[in-house]
Amino acid sequence: MPGPMRGRGAKFSKESLKMIPKLLKYLFHYYKFSMAIVIFCIVITAVAGASNGLFLERIIDDVITPGLKNGFDSVKDTLIFWMIVMISVYSVGVLAGLVYTQIMAYVGQGFLNHLRKDMFSKMESLPIKYFDRNAHGDIMSRYTNDVDAIRQFITQTLLQVINTAITIVYLMFMMIFFSIWLALISFAGVFVILFIIKNIGSQSAKFFMQQQISTGKVEGYIEEMMNGQKVIKVFNHEEEAKKDFVKCNDALFNDAKKANYYGNILGPILNNFGNLIYIVIAAVGFVLSYFSAYNLSLEGLITGSTVITIGIVASFLGMSKQFSQSIGQVSQQISMVALAMAGAKRVFDLLNEEPEKDDGYVTLVHAKRTEDGTLTESTERTGIWAWKHPHQDGSLTYTLLKGDIVLEDVDFGYYPEKVVLHDVSIYARPGQKIAFVGATGAGKTTITNLINRFYDIADGKIRYDGININKIRKNDLRRSLGIVLQDTNLFTGTVMENIRYGRLDATDEEVYEAAKIANAYDFITRLPEGFQTMLTHDGANLSQGQRQLLSIARAACADAPVMILDEATSSIDTRTEALVQKGTDQLMKGRTVFVIAHRLSTVQNSDCIMVLDHGRIIERGTHQDLIAAKGTYYELYTGAFELE
């Protein structure tokens, strides 16, 4: 990978550390009581598991040593007592472990359930530009790889880290209690271990972060290649696609290799260093126990007037070994923590994305006319729509939705430094059909995106029935617009569910009528299960023309007052186009319609045709007017100038 990416990886690894408290806060927000029980049970389990040294010291000094001197009978009661204590402690530890693992099975999956819901909810609130600027495969990777890394952290790593941390603290107090000097030897060794962890672990965290980023890129590339397989094969681009994939995959391999190299090297180093500490403590413990046993003059100086027995030395060796192993276990989790925090950062980056802003307060309602002809709100579908406009003085006015859409001197750019629409003015009167023609990139689709407020204009005004569309709530604005896009999108479900997608309360009869309007009824009834035929993979079991017909039927079912047809017949053959044209003519009656089309035959009956070139309207008028003018439209129509 290039040098700059390395720097970014290091930056990300530092930022990812901030994810730990954020992730825990998120977890405790949903499962505060359950996590309190889990932590309580972990404390019991850890203390029970770390009490081996205490029991060993008691058994040696209170049972074995006196038993060897005075016989078994003298220590029988003591042995039974400590056996009962050990059985009780370990049984409670096992029970506590069983309780918290069962709770975490529920908490872990429940937490992920909440996380995915929040991610999807946030994703649905994001503006279109987020999806334009981020690879869809990379977004998917956050739901899969990143969430899975968080799952491992919550259900496994977090519990082990808490258990180990409690064990370490408990052992520290136990070792200090038995011998401050032997404890200091262990602590000195731990400082060396922590130094090793800091230097090697930070490298591991850096590359695990980069591994997650590279994984997202690989998945994004695969998703892009899957969607473009037809194009790849038509242009014989398979070998180039393989080469590009190898580059992405090799980058992932290098980052994963380095991440796991630094992650795996810690174990052997720490285990062997722990053995060295074990040897040192054994030697020093022998010396201290020797001085203690014979009451030599150095005892008070070295041991602080503490008697060092064989039981203490033996138990201390066990505690020291367990202490260093616990530190090693924590270090082994660094790679998993780094992986999870890298995933958490990417997930929270999504959750922290700025949602689509909506300052609108004018809403769309069903309306009816009173006896005196004024509009009032209706709870039933009446076929009449009105804009409900609250005013600062507390009053309400209802404006009939006519479909009068005006753009005045509109400028727009997807990026501030690159303006793509210049001084665009359009006047679409109620019931008119307005057509946009022009070469690809002229700005035709961009105009409809602005009417939908998928993007906000840089300058100028857009008014809908005299109301600035910035004042209209986006959901209501879009509900008033029926759209048929050039690229059809069908969803997993039945044909009927797909047609009903934009109006869930539509009856079966209304769905049938919408299919007839779009001239899709005949082919639907010939499907294996008719309207109940299941569609999958974006309607892969249908032809492109059939998919487009269903898209038109969906718009017809929504019954919106304004229609936008963006290359609606681009994927339909000439014969089918004639049928669709007849259906759309019926669909467009009484509606304001915006049509984008390359086939000029579909826009001849438009009330006004706008010819765009590089974001500017260069001609406007009816078909007859533009033909008579013999300008760009005339050249396009007669074939003297190709549309592309």
pLDDT of residue 304: 45
pLDDT confidence tier of residue 187, bands split at 50, 70 and 90: confident
Looking at the structure, do residues 491 and 587 belong to the same domain, yes or no?
yes
Looking at the structure, do residues 299 and 370 belong to the same domain, yes or no?
no
Please report which helix (H) or strand (E) contains residue 33, including its range.
helix 19-49
C-alpha torsion 30→31→33→38, nearest 10: -160
Which are the contacts of 91, defined by CB distance < 8 A and separation ≥ 6? none
**Domain, as residue range, for 20:** 16-351
* 643 falls within a domain: no
Looking at the structure, do residues 324 and 379 belong to the same domain, yes or no?
no
Residue 296: is it exposed, middle or buried by C-beta count within 10 angstroms (0-12/13-18/19+)?
exposed
Residue that wins the pLDDT comparison between 271 and 137 = 137
* 629 falls within a domain: yes
For residue 422, the SS3 value is: strand
Residue that wins the pLDDT comparison between 554 and 307 = 554
* 229 falls within a domain: yes
Q: What is the mean pLDDT of residues 19-35?
A: 89
pLDDT confidence tier of residue 235, bands split at 50, 70 and 90: low
CB 499 within 8 A of CB 553: yes
Average pLDDT, the chain: 81
pLDDT confidence tier of residue 16, bands split at 50, 70 and 90: low
pLDDT confidence tier of residue 267, bands split at 50, 70 and 90: low
Q: What is the CA radius of gyration of the chain?
A: 37
For residue 2, the SS3 value is: coil
* 83 falls within a domain: yes
pLDDT of residue 9: 37
CB 249 within 8 A of CB 310: no
CB 448 within 8 A of CB 429: no
Rounded Cα distance between 41 and 99, Å, is: 7
Handedness of CA 323, 326, 331, 332 (dihedral sign): positive
pLDDT confidence tier of residue 299, bands split at 50, 70 and 90: very low
Looking up residue 230, the CATH number of its domain turns out to be 1.20.1560.10
Q: For tokens 């660094």, name the residue.
A: 334
**Rounded alpha-carbon distances, angstroms, from residue 78 to 48, 73, 91, 311:** 20, 10, 20, 15
pLDDT of residue 568: 65
pTM: predicted TM-score of the whole model, two decimal places: 0.72
Looking at the structure, do residues 409 and 493 belong to the same domain, yes or no?
yes
Please report which helix (H) or strand (E) contains residue 80, including its range.
helix 76-125
**Rounded alpha-carbon distances, angstroms, from residue 386 to 389, 471, 482:** 9, 14, 16
Comparing CA positions, the residue from 116, 584, 638 lying closest to residue 350 is 116
Looking at the structure, do residues 396 and 409 belong to the same domain, yes or no?
no
* 503 falls within a domain: yes
Looking up residue 634, the CATH number of its domain turns out to be 3.40.50.300
CB 386 within 8 A of CB 400: yes
Which residues sit opposite 30 in a β-bridge? none
For residue 430, the SS3 value is: coil
pLDDT of residue 519: 82
Largest CA distance in the chain: 125
Looking at the structure, do residues 469 and 557 belong to the same domain, yes or no?
yes
Rounded Cα distance between 278 and 31, Å, is: 41
pLDDT of residue 338: 78
β 481-484/562-566 pair status = parallel
| pLDDT tens-digit series, residues 468-524 | 999 999 989 988 988 887 777 888 889 999 999 888 888 999 999 989 888 888 899
The beta-strand segments (E) located in 48-161 are none
The number of beta carbons lying within 10 Å of the beta carbon of residue 211 is 26
Residue 208 has pLDDT above 80, yes or no: no
* 2 falls within a domain: no
Looking at the structure, do residues 491 and 409 belong to the same domain, yes or no?
yes
pLDDT of residue 58: 79
The residue type at 434: I
* 10 falls within a domain: no
* 8 falls within a domain: no
Residue that wins the pLDDT comparison between 228 and 561 = 561
Looking at the structure, do residues 161 and 237 belong to the same domain, yes or no?
yes
Looking at the structure, do residues 391 and 428 belong to the same domain, yes or no?
no
Rounded Cα distance between 593 and 612, Å, is: 18
For residue 71, the SS3 value is: coil
Rounded Cα distance between 626 and 236, Å, is: 42
Q: What is the mean pLDDT of residues 376-380?
A: 87
| pLDDT tens-digit series, residues 157-168 | 888 888 888 888
Query: How many domains does the chain divide into?
Result: 3
pLDDT confidence tier of residue 1, bands split at 50, 70 and 90: very low
Q: For tokens 């519990």, name the residue.
A: 159
Phi, psi values for residue 406, rounded to 5°? -130, 130
CB 492 within 8 A of CB 535: yes
Q: What is the mean pLDDT of residues 51-60?
A: 80
**Rounded alpha-carbon distances, angstroms, from residue 416 to 11, 128, 133, 419, 457:** 28, 16, 15, 7, 11
pLDDT confidence tier of residue 118, bands split at 50, 70 and 90: very high
Q: Would you list the DSSP string of 89-112?
A: HHHHHHHHHHHHHHHHHHHHHHHH
Looking at the structure, do residues 381 and 456 belong to the same domain, yes or no?
no
pLDDT of residue 252: 86
| pLDDT tens-digit series, residues 597-627 | 777 777 888 899 999 998 999 999 999 999 9
Looking at the structure, do residues 344 and 380 belong to the same domain, yes or no?
no
Last residue of a domain, one of 371, 400, 429: 400
Cα–chain center distance at 174: 45
Looking at the structure, do residues 288 and 209 belong to the same domain, yes or no?
yes
Q: What is the mean pLDDT of residues 107-124?
A: 90
Residue that wins the pLDDT comparison between 111 and 233 = 111
Assign 3-state DSSP to the chain and report helix, strand, coil percentages, each to 5. 65, 15, 25
